[in-house]
Amino acid sequence: MSPRKICVVVTARPSYSRIKTALTAIKAHPGLELQLVIAGSALLDRYGNAVDFIEKDGFEIAAKVFMVLEGENPTTMAKTTGLGVMELTNVFYNLNPDAVVTIADRFETIATSIAAAYQNIPLIHIQGGEVTGSIDEKVRHANTKLADLHLVSTEEAKERVIKLGEEPEKVMNTGCPSIDLAKEVLESPQMHFDPFEKYGGVGMDFDWRKGYVVVMQHPVTTEYQLAKMHIIETLKAIDALNYPAFWFWPNVDAGSDGTSNGIRTFRELQKPENIHFFKNMEPVDFLVLLKNSKALIGNSSAGIRECSYLGVPVINIGNRQHRRTRAENVQDVNYSEKEIREATEQAISHKHYPSSSLYGNGEAGNKIAEILAKTELTYNKTIAY
Amino acid sequence: MSPRKICVVVTARPSYSRIKTALTAIKAHPGLELQLVIAGSALLDRYGNAVDFIEKDGFEIAAKVFMVLEGENPTTMAKTTGLGVMELTNVFYNLNPDAVVTIADRFETIATSIAAAYQNIPLIHIQGGEVTGSIDEKVRHANTKLADLHLVSTEEAKERVIKLGEEPEKVMNTGCPSIDLAKEVLESPQMHFDPFEKYGGVGMDFDWRKGYVVVMQHPVTTEYQLAKMHIIETLKAIDALNYPAFWFWPNVDAGSDGTSNGIRTFRELQKPENIHFFKNMEPVDFLVLLKNSKALIGNSSAGIRECSYLGVPVINIGNRQHRRTRAENVQDVNYSEKEIREATEQAISHKHYPSSSLYGNGEAGNKIAEILAKTELTYNKTIAY
Amino acid sequence: MSPRKICVVVTARPSYSRIKTALTAIKAHPGLELQLVIAGSALLDRYGNAVDFIEKDGFEIAAKVFMVLEGENPTTMAKTTGLGVMELTNVFYNLNPDAVVTIADRFETIATSIAAAYQNIPLIHIQGGEVTGSIDEKVRHANTKLADLHLVSTEEAKERVIKLGEEPEKVMNTGCPSIDLAKEVLESPQMHFDPFEKYGGVGMDFDWRKGYVVVMQHPVTTEYQLAKMHIIETLKAIDALNYPAFWFWPNVDAGSDGTSNGIRTFRELQKPENIHFFKNMEPVDFLVLLKNSKALIGNSSAGIRECSYLGVPVINIGNRQHRRTRAENVQDVNYSEKEIREATEQAISHKHYPSSSLYGNGEAGNKIAEILAKTELTYNKTIAY
Amino acid sequence: MSPRKICVVVTARPSYSRIKTALTAIKAHPGLELQLVIAGSALLDRYGNAVDFIEKDGFEIAAKVFMVLEGENPTTMAKTTGLGVMELTNVFYNLNPDAVVTIADRFETIATSIAAAYQNIPLIHIQGGEVTGSIDEKVRHANTKLADLHLVSTEEAKERVIKLGEEPEKVMNTGCPSIDLAKEVLESPQMHFDPFEKYGGVGMDFDWRKGYVVVMQHPVTTEYQLAKMHIIETLKAIDALNYPAFWFWPNVDAGSDGTSNGIRTFRELQKPENIHFFKNMEPVDFLVLLKNSKALIGNSSAGIRECSYLGVPVINIGNRQHRRTRAENVQDVNYSEKEIREATEQAISHKHYPSSSLYGNGEAGNKIAEILAKTELTYNKTIAY
């Protein structure tokens, strides 16, 4: 029997970290053949082209798809998704996979879901069943309703997907593949690279060995006009702290222009002396950087997921991670310079937390590959109630 | 206060009947302004261009969007949807409505949903919460997860949408607008037109005053390669019955080429003497034709919805309406000449059934307009559990 | 040195005949690697799916692209082209060819040209420099201005391309590959197959051994609203002749719905007793059918090209081939039942004409492959004057 | 008789300056109705959103179309064009203009041409017949072959369009509307605004009253991988000059990411002390800034056109304006720090040149409106030879 062709679509830089160990496991599995499609902002230098990392990690790319419209507003997000449906449909038609994997809840992931589901290709959704704010919340659950098999990250997510009317035998908690990487890092947490040397970036240099924080804050699509205002609170807080900070540019989303603009203007006018900016890092390097930091500030889901396992204190700002299950390492604050600054000060003086296995125990990649090789693949379903 | 701009998108011939009385009520409501968008197969002569009927009914069309790819296979269905997302996004951006209405569950309706939801425009879904087979089943529930307000047709549908995690106060049973038309027809059921004269069509002429059946069978997208085989069973059954039949061409869906091809081949080879073919009819004329028929054969949802109110016997073939709530007028059969023929024979000799209000009592259009004018419109939601 | 990768895009059924011997020669050439892309109506059953013939002829297809929008009107022609640009761009990006070949002048061929030229891929245009009516006239010369190398079919075309400002050394008269096939057929002109048996089709059967004509009439895009009126003149003429006729369905173009509709209505009402309808034939079979016919009626360019070599009398109707260089076998008539009928009567009683090498001497395929292997490939040019 | 609806499509910031006086004249003409469509990078903040200027100038926008794909490489240029074809087709279909105007030769202008020509809408091309390098060269002449009426800027361009096979009576030299603005500026050349105050920007402040140069250098699409290397030569030259410079960011084209990246890196590393950066200026302000400068350095066509009328010395770098007709104010140099620096030094010490009317005498806008109101509009043509 020829191996099952599993087509995985990575549409953004952070999704690669979320799926990397599963890709490795699929590639290594004798019953599976990996068809890796890289699309969307994962191809764009402006957001930290992920292709170099991916190829360096030894993956062959079956197809690349440019599909991001400029504008970073709700209109271009929607058009990007439409373009993605058209192009991914063509890619799947020509690759002819046995199953397609769509990851999590970024707005353009529904393009993968439609392109597969409409072509009667079994659709596997990773990381469904969670709860957040932003358009992601709608997209994630719509992906669930289009998907045939659900590989979720937590027990709570599993229950929620079942409540959404999916057959219980089609919902499996594998844990999140990002925790697999976090496990590697926890086992060998030393900073094995110099961030300035390896990644360049812009802004101030400082001695990161003496302690630093990491900042990563994305715009919230449903509040996209406020993106600039939101980021400026954080910039003021970090500037006022006067503590070394590594800052990552935002994802491409409605509002990211506002976020970037806020950062650029602030840099130009305030010339903050303690901040260095990066576009992107290789997944493991990023986790090592987090593990060695005093805290992560922003609204990245890495704060909720990977940091729970790494035990890194997280200052979680605003509504983006609204209601997502979290461990004790997370403290929620509003878009407020004062709240952000005070919470960060506390976190800097606080020790790291014990590791939590809320999002998995580091075996997700292998479990996913095993399931993809063994489970019955179907594309026709009816709601359970 | 200026009236709320309500943009309704009609993407297919049958959706117009499903929404017509709501359009009338929206247009007449002082607190509402109708922006009617006609797209997809509703613009195509091949499937019975609905535009003529719509304009004759006095509606002004704000924008027309050609978006159907040729091929009638799963690949072109997906691409049509992608194209729809892109084009409808542009249309909404330029029309700037206060809310968008997406209707039911045809594959391309998710394009309307994405174009609105991603642009932070409140999305209203009509006819959610039902259950069927085909890709419609996935699309309907995905529409629910993208929508902010749910105007459903039955109590069972209401319960199901709430189970799907929607807030109960955002789910309202208005009944189905198609029943409003059925009510008009039931009040004045006489054939007020000659089908041959008014609609032409091809095939045999017969004296419809002496009794006839109606056939309407669409391909099932998830079984689209079987479409030709499926339709041929029905053709053989109707041919064998040798009872006058009005036959309607299928919708544009994956497999409709198979269905049409089956019909053409059968016509060419068997030259059936009792069948006349139509592409389309005005909504009310179609219901009058049904009301005066002995039975409806096929898998149209009109059999489940309008015919329940009209009391017309229905021979429902195959999986397309799988599990949709039905009244006593519906008899289910397999894709089998014998089953279809025997069930139709019985139906012809059976009287009509009493009217059922399972899908509404004929007030849906007004209720929908009232709600659209009064209810709070939101575009940000979180799952209820 | 690795062979040059030559990507040829076939977007319609007739283009395959026009390029077939070049494909064979490219495939066989040690210095070339063929990347064959099949797109547009060449994939659609409705217009006679060319894929089966192509695969039967031993060609491997590198990518297939559905891109035809339904509607057969000017709006959908334009959208089809836009979709083609987007999808072919993606295909070329992933195939990474050394040169792209675009064929002739159908409206969607400019999509191939843009996708290649904008990506700095050397673009080779086949069959430029001719003159006709319809949108093809604009498209052909625009293709010339986007292309870097011009392989034309006649001396007159060569001169015209040079007049258009192309460097003379970039313009070569190879003759038309369709003549290569015509040469094969002229060498072995016997009907080696029974058309009814091999191709089915619909309509009357007759004894083709006793003589027949062939009809092939496409809509003219710039007069597309008149398509139905135009085809009906031809139908009436052929019906009145009462001489056996093989009739081919039109290409997908603005107006083809009108043409098809005219044919269907005429069949339904007039039940012509001497006409049999086909969708498509394999290229060589079609030429054999032509060679054994009394005449070709319509506006197909096959009348001007292949029939000049075959010596078959042609009744050329209307403006579609306006000013295209022609041999003595062509007689021009207006859209007029009377003119068509009288000219056809004359042609039936006339003998075939001597073979003309106006469009080549049957060596085009090999010449094209030779040039593609040897010539310098460039993508940057400036007008010569 | 109702006024002719003239749809003008502006797809980029610089095109607005090129057409502004014609828009004013069309709007004012009793026989014409302006339908203004703003699309592409003209909508994007990143490239200096032109919409604010346009609305401030009193124009109503009939439709806006986001269509630019991110990536600034040849692949995304092609896809942007494809998307433009699809969306503009829809816009024209719904606006139903009597004629469409496409401007000059940017890559995406062919989208306007196809959307109009394929829909049988008379197409008017402004600024055809010129010669340059880059993909613009191919696009400009392809636009000519798709257009029905040609309103060119120079006598040489007129002759060239006629040589391209267009009927002489369809080619008219109106001069370039950009010269109309230049004429206004020449009549009132005082700096009426403070650039720092009105436009912000980033970089050093200086006393512009003491003399400055202007830099505007775009990537060349056919050499797009070299964009960064090219811009760095210019940056080094200007840095070495140590003379105040206003620098404008590049257009969105293949390579603009390289250009921007070069600028950002240079700023970060070299911290040039004499350069201030702007995204955009209102058309008239930009010309006033040029008129008061010592020289324009780069490869903008403003150097060739507007500066010839203004008499401003121009250092024209590289191949982008290759062979475009030029007055004595232009000096050509290679991508070489030394050549650029030396030529700029000379220009700074040189007086301005006498005004040249090579590109018109300042009456283009009115002439264009007059022609659009009076000339016969056609959409069907055949090459003249």
Which residue does chain B place closest to C204, by CA atoms? Answer: B268
**Closest CA–CA distance from residue B16 to any residue of chain C (Å):** 19
D305 or D47, greater pLDDT = D305
Q: Which amino acid is at C343?
A: A
Q: Residues A50-86: pLDDT tens digits?
A: 898 899 999 999 999 999 999 889 999 999 999 999 9
How many angstroms separate the CA atoms of B91 and A256, rounded? 24
* pLDDT of A48 above 80: no
How far C308 CA sits from the closest chain D CA (Å)? 23
Nearest residue, CB atoms, C385 vs list D163, D380, D381:
D163
Domain identity same for B162 and B306: no
Structure tokens at D136: 């613009």
Is C382 part of a structural domain of the chain?
A: no
**Residue A361 pLDDT:** 95
* Of residues C82, C132, C138, nearest to D145 (C-beta): C138
Task: List the one residue out of A40, A67, A37, A68 whose CA is nearest residue A54.
Answer: A37
Q: What is the pLDDT of residue C47?
A: 66
Residues D152 and D195 in one domain: no
What b/e sequence results for C71-97 when a residue is b if at least 16 CB atoms lie within 10 Å of its CB, and e otherwise? bbbbbbbbbbbbbbbbbbbbbbbbeeb
| pTM of the full structure | 0.94
The rounded distance, in Å, linking the Cα atoms of A312 and A335 is 21
Rounded to whole angstroms, the Cα distance separating D370 from C351 reads 58
Axis crossing angle, helix A109-117 with helix A74-95, rounded to the nearest 10 = 40
What percent of chain B has pLDDT above 70?
99
A205's tokens: 């240099």
To test the contact with chain A by mutation, choose from C60, C64, C65, C90 the residue with the greatest count of A C-beta atoms within 10 A, namely C90
In this structure, the number of other CB atoms found within 10 A of the CB of residue B328 comes to: 12
Q: CB distance from D271 to chain A under 8 Å?
A: no
Confidence of residue A108 (pLDDT cuts 50, 70, 90): very high
Residue-wise pLDDT tens digits, C314-338: 999 998 998 899 999 999 999 999 9
> Is C66–B45 a contact, with Cβ atoms under 8 angstroms apart?
no
Number of folded domains that form chain D: 2
Say if residue A349's pLDDT is above 80: yes
Chains touching B (at least 3 CB pairs under 8 A) are A, C, D
Q: Are residues D164 and D296 in the same domain?
A: no
- Is residue A383 a part of any domain in this protein? no
Give me the mean pLDDT over the D86-94 stretch.
97
Q: With an 8 Å Cβ cutoff, are C257 and B45 in contact?
A: yes
Are D151 and D238 within one domain?
A: no
Q: Is the same domain home to A142 and A234?
A: no
Does a structural domain hold residue B382? no
Query: D187-219: per-residue pLDDT in tens?
Result: 999 999 999 999 988 888 999 999 999 999 999
Annotate B296-329 with DSSP letters as a single string: EEE--HHHHTHHHHHT--EEEESSTTTT----TT
Q: Which of C140, C101, C104 is nearest to C121 (CA)?
A: C101
- Note whether B82 contacts A78, CB cutoff 8 Å: no
What pLDDT score was predicted for residue A47? 67
C144 and C250 fall within a common domain: no
Q: Closest to D107 (Cβ–Cβ): which among C118, C165, C221? A: C118
Rg (C-alpha) for chain C, rounded Å, is 20
Instruction: Confirm whether A284 is domain-assigned.
Output: yes
Per DSSP, the three-state class of D37 is: strand
Calculate what percentage of chain A has a pLDDT beyond 90: 84
Q: Where are the beta strands (DSSP E) in chain B?
A: 4-10, 32-39, 61-65, 99-103, 123-126, 149-152, 171-173, 202-203, 213-216, 245-248, 275-278, 296-298, 314-317, 330-333
Q: Do C94 and A66 touch (CB under 8 A)?
A: no
- D285 shares a domain with D192: yes
The model's pLDDT over D135-180, given as tens digits with 9 standing for 90+, comes to: 999 999 999 999 999 999 999 999 999 999 999 999 999 999 999 9
Strand order in the sheet with B149-152: B61-65, B32-39, B4-10, B99-103, B123-126, B149-152, B171-173
Q: Are residues B111 and B242 in the same domain?
A: no
The side-by-side arrangement of strands in the sheet containing A61-65 is: A61-65, A32-39, A4-10, A99-103, A123-126, A149-152, A171-173
Do A341 and A194 sit in the same domain of this protein?
yes
Show the DSSP H helices in A169-312 as ranges. Answer: 177-187, 195-199, 227-241, 256-270, 283-291, 301-304, 306-310
3-class secondary structure, A301: helix
Distance in angstroms (rounded) separating the CA atoms of residues C98 and C100? 7
How many other C-beta atoms can be found within 10 angstroms of the C-beta atom of residue D96?
11
Please tell me whether the interface predicted TM-score (ipTM) of this complex is above 0.90: yes
Per-residue pLDDT for C48 more than 80? no
State the best of D138, D139, D224, D381 to mutate against chain C, taking most chain C CBs within 10 Å.
Answer: D138
3-state helix, strand, coil in chain B (%, to 5): 45, 15, 35
The closest CB to that of D71, out of A66, A71, A75, belongs to A66
Residue of chain B with shortest Cα separation from D37 = B94
- Mutate one of B49, B66, B70 to test the C interface: name it (highest C CB count within 10 A): B70
User: What are the pLDDT digits (tens) for B103-116?
Assistant: 999 999 999 999 99
Residue B48, pLDDT > 70, answer: no
Residue % of chain C over a pLDDT of 90: 84
- How much is the average pLDDT of C74-92? 97
Average pLDDT over residues A89-99: 97
CA angle C180, C185, C188 (to 5 degrees): 135
Chain B residues lying within 8 Å of C68, measured CB to CB: 69-71
**What is the reported pLDDT for B46?**
72
Minimal CA–CA distance to A61: which of A112, A116, A8, A125? A8
C93 close to D (CB below 8 A): yes
pLDDT single digits (tens) D258-304: 888 899 889 878 889 999 999 889 999 999 999 999 999 999 999 99
Q: Rounded to whole angstroms, how far apart are CA atoms D323 and A357?
A: 68
Q: Give the CATH number, domain containing residue B237.
A: 3.40.50.2000
Q: Where are the beta strands (DSSP E) in D104-234?
A: 123-126, 149-152, 171-173, 202-203, 213-216
Candidates B69, B83, B144, B139; CA nearest to B110 is B139
Residue with tokens 């329940």: B308
Interface check B54 vs A, CB under 8 A: no
Q: Which chains touch C (3 or more CB pairs under 8 A)?
A: A, B, D
B253 part of a folded domain = yes
Whether C379 is covered by a domain: the verdict is no
Residues D324 and D131: their CA atoms lie apart, in Å, by 5
Same domain for C147 and C232, yes or no, is no
Do A69 and D71 count as a contact with CB atoms less than 8 A apart?
no
Would residue C65 count as lying in a domain? yes
> Above 80 in pLDDT, residue C167?
yes
The reply to whether residue C63 touches residue A87, judged by beta carbons under 8 angstroms, is no
Q: Does one domain contain both B16 and B146?
A: yes
Residue type, C3: P
What's the mean per-residue pLDDT of chain D?
A: 94
Q: B218 and B129 in one domain? A: no
Contact B66/D94, CB-based, under 8 Å?
no
D383/C137 CB distance under 8 A: yes
Q: Is A138 on the interface with D (CB under 8 A)?
A: no
A164 in any annotated domain: yes
Q: Tell if the CB–CB gap between B78 and A115 is shorter than 8 Å.
A: yes
Q: Any long-range contacts for B192-197 (C-beta under 8 Å, 24+ apart)?
A: B192/B288, B193/B285, B193/B288, B195/B246, B195/B276, B195/B278, B195/B281, B195/B285, B195/B289, B196/B276
pLDDT surpassing 70 at residue B74: yes
Domain that holds residue C305: 184-349
pLDDT tens per residue, range C8-31: 999 998 899 899 999 999 999 999
With beta carbons under 8 A apart, name residues in chain B contacting A136.
none
Q: Can you name the residues that pair with A37 across neighbouring β-strands? A: A9, A63
Question: Looking at the complex, does the CB of residue C131 fall below 8 Å from at least one CB of chain D?
Answer: yes
Lowest mean pLDDT among A354-358, B222-226, C1-5, C283-287: B222-226
Q: What DSSP designation does C243 have?
A: -
The fraction of chain D above a pLDDT of 90, given in percent, is 84
**What are the tokens at C115?**
């996708």
